[in-house]
Amino acid sequence: MRRTIARIAAIACAAAWLIGCAGLPTDTAHRTLALLPADAILLGEQHDAPDHQRIHSEAVQALAAQGQLAALVLEMAEQGHSTTGLPRGASAAEVQAALAWNDAGWPWAAYGPAVMAAVQAGVPVLGANLPRTQMRDAMANTRLDGALPGPALKAQQQAIRLGHCGLLPESQIGPMTRIQIARDQAMAQTLQAAAVPGKTVLLLAGAGHVDGSLGIPQYLPENFKPKTVLLQIAPTQEAPKSIVNFDSTWVTPSIPATDYCADLQSKMPG
């Protein structure tokens, strides 16, 4: 009987390992440090998953405590904004001002703990997203269509279709894909600029941006070594998202289902 139980446990552990062996929330430090050495660690989140933002904060603290954190880089703030020059004791208001934080788009209550942990550790926090002022130019820049290999470009376009629940006119798929590519390029540039030999840069972004076949890693030079992590909500009925394009997958507890398409449809004209 004991042998049977042990075999079942071993099989369960092996299955968990295949999807990243998520472990408990308290394992974040161990899992983060296990990714080193790396020029950058890219955490790909689901934006409405509180456990993912908690992991952000824990990862920042783990790397900072070991003196390994070169910078915290954010999709949630625009390129050109940073906390460089702020003291460790800077207030949350001062940090938000330095990053030109948009609380309506990115709730400070969710992302503030990770940002403040970096500031208090004396680590710069850098905005990395494409500035809104550059989005119109990106939409019209047909040169961005050649930034990805053909199959990857088609996959990125399909991701845009699905991400907008099939509600976008087909004429908008190309321009919206260019914005996604331009955002990934901007974040890749910021990562490279923040790199410090012997340390790692931590990036917080949506999972699509971290996808190794479509996102930021596509725009990093070969000598830049990132590690990509998919933060995956435990599935209820569907199988886990493919982990082929990520170095690791950390599974977090499920959250109440949300009809994102209904919400998007209510916000779109027509």
50 is written with which tokens? 């509180």
Query: pTM score, two decimals?
Result: 0.86
Q: Are 52 and 76 a contacting pair, CB within 8 Å?
A: no
Where in the sequence is the domain holding 252, given as residue range(s)?
A: 24-132+189-267
Residue 146 lies in a domain: no
Q: Please state the domain count of the chain.
A: 1
Mean pLDDT for the stretch of residues 43-54: 96
Residue 148 lies in a domain: no
**Residues 80-100 pLDDT 10s:** 999 999 999 999 999 999 999
Mean pLDDT for the stretch of residues 22-26: 45
Whether 137 shows a pLDDT value over 90: the answer reads yes
Residue 176 lies in a domain: no
Residue 125 lies in a domain: yes
Residue 32 lies in a domain: yes
Percent of the chain's residues with pLDDT above 90: 77
Residue 144 lies in a domain: no
**Which pLDDT belongs to residue 61?**
97
**Which pLDDT belongs to residue 174?**
96
Q: What does the alpha-carbon distance between residue 200 and residue 194 come to, in Å, rounded to a whole number? A: 9
**Residues 216-225 pLDDT 10s:** 999 999 999 9
Residue 243 class from Cβ within 10 Å (0-12 exposed, 13-18 middle, 19+ buried)? middle
Percent of the chain's residues with pLDDT above 70: 84
Reported as a pLDDT band with limits 50, 70 and 90, residue 166 is confident
Domain of 249: which CATH number?
3.40.50.11550
Angle between helices 150-163 and 173-194 (to 10 degrees): 110
